[in-house]
Every structure is written in C-alpha cells, then in structure tokens.
C-alpha cells in the first residue's frame, strides 16, 4: 500500500509561458515522470501579470519531486 503523501500532487515549478510549461512536461513524461499542468486557463486570461495569478503550474507526484527537480534543474 502506498503512503498517501506519495500520491499527492505537489508544485514543481511555475511558468509564465505555456510553451515553456509544455516543454518541461514533455521532458518529464519522456523520462517516465507523470505530471499535470494546472492553471492553464488563468494564464491565457491574464497573460501578463506581476503576481502568480497567471502562472501555469507544473505539478508532479510527491514521490517524483526530487527526480523531476534534477531533470529540470529547478
């Protein structure tokens, strides 16, 4: 049985460009790390922002966080 925290989604990084977010997502998935892009709609509504309101969030499972950070150097 997996521990609950290992299957929780956590924030890996935030991007202000959907292209950057999808490139990072592709790198992770190519290396076997499942991930989810969150807040994509808000980033298109608020494309230029000073706050994180429009940021695209790249989420990974907590169990994959360190490997994902290592792959993306974040």
Q: Give Cα separations from 55 to 2, 12, 45 (angstroms).
A: 31, 12, 11
Q: Which CATH architecture has domain 4-72?
A: 2-Layer Sandwich (3.30)
pLDDT over threshold 70, residue 40: no
Instruction: Supply the pLDDT for residue 10.
Output: 96
User: The tokens of 26 are what?
Assistant: 């592709």
Count other C-beta atoms under 10 Å from residue 7's C-beta.
Answer: 10
Paired residues of 11 in beta bridges: 59
Q: Which residues share a beta bridge with 36?
A: 59
Domain parsing of the chain, residue ranges = 4-72
**pLDDT tens, position by position, 7-33:** 899 999 999 888 999 999 999 999 999
């Amino acid at each position: 049985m997996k521990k609950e925290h290992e299957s929780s989604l956590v924030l890996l990084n935030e991007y202000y460009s959907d292209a950057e977010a999808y490139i990072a997502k592709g790198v992770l998935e190519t290396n076997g790390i499942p991930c989810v892009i969150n807040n994509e709609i808000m980033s298109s509504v608020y494309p230029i922002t000073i706050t994180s309101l429009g940021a695209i969030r790249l989420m990974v499972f907590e169990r994959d966080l360190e490997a994902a950070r290592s792959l993306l150097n974040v």
